[in-house]
Chains A and B, each alone.
Chain A
Amino acid sequence: MTTGTDAPGTTRRVRPPADNNVQDVLSAIDNYTCGPIRALAQDPPQNSADAARDGLPVHVLYEVHERIARDGTAIKLLTITDSGTTGLDGPMLSGEDLEERRKQQGELIIQPGENWAAWEAMRYTKSNEDKLGSRGQGKYAYLWHSAHPAPGSPPNLPPHAWRMIIIYDSLLPDGEYRLGVRFHNPATLLVDPPFVGEAAFEILEDGYHEDVWDVPLGLEPLTKPGTRVIIPFLREDAQAAISSGELLYWLTAEWWRKIQKEELTITVVRADGGSDQVGVPEYWNVSEWGRGDPRYLSKENLRLTSDRPSQRRLVKRVVLFQDDDLQNGDVDGPAQLNGVQLLRGGQWIATLEMSEFADWIPQIHRAGFRGFVELDRQLEREFREIENPAHDGFSKRYGIYRELEKLVKDVVREYASARGWVEETEKTPDAGYEDLVRELTDLFVSPASGGGAAGNVEWTCVVEPNFSTDRAHVGWGDSMQVYAHCKRVPPGERDDIAFSAMIIRPDGTRTEVLPERHQRLRTDPNGESATAVANFGELIVEYPRGIDAAFPEPGRYSIEVSCRLHDETVARGRCSFYVASAPPPPPPRALTIQLQAFNTRDSGRSINYGEELGVLVQLRNYTPQIVAGQLAVTIEGTPHVLARQDVSVDGTLPGASPQPFAVRPTTVSITEGTATKDDEIQLPPGQHTVIAAVEHEGYVLASATVEINVGPPEDEGADAPFEVKEIYDKPAAARWSLEDPGVQHRNYILWLSHEDPVYRAVRSIARPAGAERVPQVEFVSGVVAEGLVEWAVRECRQRGDEGKLRLVGGNLAALDQQLADRFEDRIERLMASVDDASAYGEYQREIAAIMLEASRKAR
């Protein structure tokens, strides 16, 4: 062994490293979620594994020694020695060297191979490596365990005024021997320059007795390349953890997989001289992961949902095991072995707790449940990026984490099903958020096939009440005239139309007050349509004098008129007015657009080549003034213009529902090849966006978009309007919030607070007997329904696209007319109260409740 020696005339001093003191160390280790003993089990082998040399197996030895200090005090040392590693090699950069480098580079960058400098420095970046956390934190795991009050300190000295010390020596593969000292008293200081060769051996033999320190060592120099860290004044809790076997437990939990793969061995020598080798839990000591044994389930090469050929995201292995004879041996704190361990590079990082699987694993089987997950190398790199600096958890706000969590849950559910703990007929208890959004979207937002937009004959009904004031408002005893117009395009025969009218009360109940009328269609002067006009006469709003009163209470009423031809309803129209109560002010947005684009054959949104695309645009003007502009309809990304015309939309009385101004552009046929006719357009297969907008002098008054699919239908449902993501670690976050699309993400995101107390509570509640869904799903459904309302209103407010709100209302009417009436009323009130947060929130919750009730009825 080449020992080397100090240069002649070497003078040592102590220098402060970049920062940190006792308090930093205490705070950092206190932030380890499982406490300082896990830190002691985790960081030393991790440092050693990172320094593995040429694929050699790494051995780590924890050994407790008893020594007597010069003042006669008995102290315990813990040495942690590795072999099979490179040792702390590289140049021994002085404080000046490091400072000069920091100045030149703007930050301190440590190059690969500069391991001594990396060990002694703090807060630096490693060149060519990921920036994982705050570099240097690993040293704290050693220092923490030597914290003690200096001799002669007053009693009750707070820990931040204590002192700490570690001594480290390293034998390099080329024979060079180094020894360094780092202490915190309470500020941090390093001995500079380090001791080399014979000077290091003297310290090891005699101890370190400089300045205020009296540290007996009496250790032999290392004989194999590697590093030893000496922790003098070993704290009592660490001594207890070593003698009781707790350290052994943490080392097993942390490193069993790496040990199993023979990449690492760990030995613990206790103060009494007894030693233990860290091993592998018995249940994982099986061949082929227990294939054929019903207690085991292993699945390999599973793909995360975001896995793509260009971005592989593969889970190498998920293995589960359960045995009722196995006890839950976890110590207090976050789960360790009881649950599904997430491993990275053979190291345990975090555990998915049993509460995550409460829907499938019955209480009586949970204690004996074990599992682990290993990732493909590429996915491991991504997970390393989201690992916290303490290496004891992943940031849960990233999509890949949630994807992994869902994948593991799916495997656990499969396991539970195989063990007979979950009934096969049961619906998925924990439907993914995407499924919940999809369910409500399909119910309320997908265009209903076979609706009135398609077809060659267009019927419309407009109800026109005449009020005596300039508002849609009547007082008790007042009257109003009610007319209804039924129009057919093209004109056709002079058919007889039957008009019947219903009054819809504020509570959604209906009554027939106005007598039925019959009128013949007459061709309009333009020759393009035919109209029948019914005069229902005078409607008197009588003060309520009995339980059968038509107008039992103040509030918003509607008149719905149905037009029937040969006993078949061809059109419906409605108007609203307020009885003895003030109508809400008009919503802030003057003009809105409702856009429908559909296959004329079936009203669906998929169009095959040779079929026709139909478009219906309905404009609504919420203000009393006329609004004029130019309407255009195009297909985005193409030169096709489906409509371009000047429009003028009449105003609406306050309190009345605006009557839609309809524009139906000429239908066009979709071709795959070059278009040869004026009414043909060529579109490639796939999704396309139809956009309609009204502009006035370069200002967009309102715009709306609808997706169509050209070619074979892949999915007739609407695209989910938003993605649901959970927001973690923000206890003060709102229960949910909707984030607008932006540059980073093109869709809305509904953020659901993971820490919300109600959500936390429902997550732990199992499905009540007879309930169709677990409480967690019901909770998220409610949030998604409120989010859908918010999304539809926001589309209307920000862009003037009323189509989303109308779709929700229209689809609701198909499910339950009475609920739809209430919905319509609440929507109008919601639209009118967008600047009144209190009223807006109330209506939004009420609308969501209506949707959920309709959803339950639909199921």
Chain B
Amino acid sequence: MPAKVWSRTAAGDIVSTVETRGRSSARAEDFALAEDLDAAIDRAFDDAESLRSQVARDEVPTKFTINWAVGRAIAQSDLLKHAALHSEPPALLFKAMAAKFRTLARADGSEASNWVHLRPELSEEPTNREGSSKGRHDHWSMCVWLAEQDYDDAVLTFGGSTRNVWQMLERKALNPLVMRQALRSWLAGLPPDIAADITSAKKFPELMKVLRDRWPARGRRPALQPVHYAEGELRAEIARVAESIGLVEATLT
């Protein structure tokens, strides 16, 4: 099923094509569905702006809050279940969203300048993280994944760092929500300065690396992955692994 993909011509005009299954379509029913989806994306982006202002806290980086708000708005809007995306990979939605944010095009063709601060910094040419492909995560799928946790939980889990979000997201075994909740729970039990240290740009990747090694994807590997554990079990396992590399002292956990 189809989605509308916006672009800007060399002359600066905003134009769109309807794409389905990797090709452009000229069928009337595709256009109708694509336009409905396009309008739904508009509403989600507008909701994101409202959500952001509701949850924002001064001590949390704005970028992190925006990413969470965009992700939660997409999830709440049920965009991923939209009829236009039936039999399509989620990548098509993310591609359409990336194009809308790049062109700032609303469904009615007007320019949504208020979205500018909702989008990540743009490079001249789209990067791999602007519209997902080949099953890899992009900015928008990251936002959706981040917003699976409530805002305060997400802030605690990642220390408000989008870089940390990517560190965990790109290690597939660590993706299940229960893993993030277990991490949040473990961090919540630590003294705040220790928790802040662990979610620092230096320590958090170390923790992710050693957790990935605990559940490797190839070779001699455990049958039980994080998705198979209860939150309490995972919390204990995170504590054990963190202690084993000296990230925290045993007495703290």
Contact = CB atoms under 8 A, between A and B. Distances in A.
B241 interface: yes
B228 A632 contact: yes
A173 to B, nearest CB: 31
Nearest to A693: B223
B221 A691 contact: yes
B225 interface: yes
A855 interface: no
A799 interface: yes
Contact of B224 (A693, A697, A741, A799): A693
Interface stretch (B122-130, B186-194, B212-220): B212-220
A698 B228 CA distance: 14
A634 interface: yes
B246 interface: no
A633 B220 CA distance: 14
Nearest to A642: B223
Contacts, number: 46
B224 A641 contact: yes
Nearest to A695: B222
Contacts of B55: none
B227 interface: yes
Contact of A698 (B219, B225, B240): B240
B interface, size bucket: 10 to 19
Interface SS, A side: strand
Interface string A634-665: 10100101001000000000000000000000
B49 interface: no
Interface string A698-736: 101011000000000000000000000000000000000
Given A632-B228, A698-B214, A692 B223 contact: yes
B194 to A, nearest CB: 22
A800 B220 CA distance: 8
Interface of B: 214, 218-225, 227-228, 237, 240-241
B218 A644 contact: no
B238 to A, nearest CB: 11
B241 A634 contact: no
A89 B92 CA distance: 47
A853 B223 CA distance: 37
A838 interface: no
Closest 6 CB pairs of A and B: A632-B223, A693-B223, A799-B220, A632-B224, A691-B223, A634-B223
A700 B222 contact: yes
B224 A634 contact: yes
Contacts of B219: 798-799
Nearest to B221: A703
B227 A639 contact: yes
A700 B218 contact: no
Nearest to B228: A641
A698 B241 contact: yes
B177 to A, nearest CB: 12
Nearest to A310: B22
Contacts of B240: 697-698
A41 to B, nearest CB: 45
7 contacts: A632-B223, A632-B224, A691-B223, A698-B240, A698-B241, A798-B219, A798-B220
Interface of A: 632-634, 636, 639, 641, 644, 691-693, 695, 697-698, 700, 702-703, 741, 746, 798-800
B171 to A, nearest CB: 15
B224 to A, nearest CB: 5
Nearest to B240: A698
A693 B215 CA distance: 12
Contacts of A695: 222, 224
A634 B220 contact: no
Given A632-B222, A641-B224, A691-B221, 18 more contacts: A632-B228, A636-B225, A639-B228, A644-B228, A693-B220, A693-B222, A693-B223, A693-B224, A698-B214, A700-B221, A700-B222, A702-B220, A703-B221, A703-B222, A798-B219, A799-B219, A799-B220, A800-B220
A72 B223 CA distance: 89
A693 B216 CA distance: 13
A644 B233 CA distance: 14
B237 A634 contact: no
A537 B1 CA distance: 76
Contacts of B227: 639
A800 to B, nearest CB: 7
B219 to A, nearest CB: 6
Contacts of B237: 698
A699 to B, nearest CB: 9
Contacts of A697: 240
Nearest to A699: B222
A799 B219 CA distance: 7
A636 B227 CA distance: 10
Contacts of A636: 225
Given A639-B228, A698-B237, A633 B223 contact: yes
A76 B144 CA distance: 77
B221 A634 contact: no
Contacts of A702: 220
A524 B223 CA distance: 32
Contacts of A644: 224, 228
A741 B218 CA distance: 9
A634 B225 contact: yes
A700 B228 contact: no
Most chain-A Cβ atoms within 10 A of its Cβ — which of B223, B228, B237, B240? B223
A636 B226 CA distance: 12
Given A632-B228, A639-B228, A641-B228, A703 B218 contact: no
A634 B228 contact: yes
A639 B225 CA distance: 9
B128 to A, nearest CB: 18
Contacts of A798: 219-220
Given A698-B240, A698-B241, A741-B218, A703 B223 contact: yes
A836 B214 CA distance: 32
Nearest to B218: A741
A700 B224 CA distance: 10
Contacts of B225: 634, 636
A561 to B, nearest CB: 33
B164 to A, nearest CB: 23
A489 to B, nearest CB: 23
A632 B241 CA distance: 20
Nearest to B178: A639
A372 to B, nearest CB: 36
A702 B223 CA distance: 10
A147 to B, nearest CB: 50
Contacts of B241: 698
Name the residue among A698, A741, A746 with the largest chain B CB count within 10 angstroms. Answer: A698
The CB with the most chain A CB atoms within 10 A, among B221, B222, B227, B241, is that of: B222
A593 to B, nearest CB: 10
B228 A693 contact: no
Nearest to A743: B218
Nearest to A801: B220
Contacts of A741: 218
A692 B221 CA distance: 9
A633 B228 CA distance: 11
Contacts of B224: 632, 634, 641, 644, 693, 695
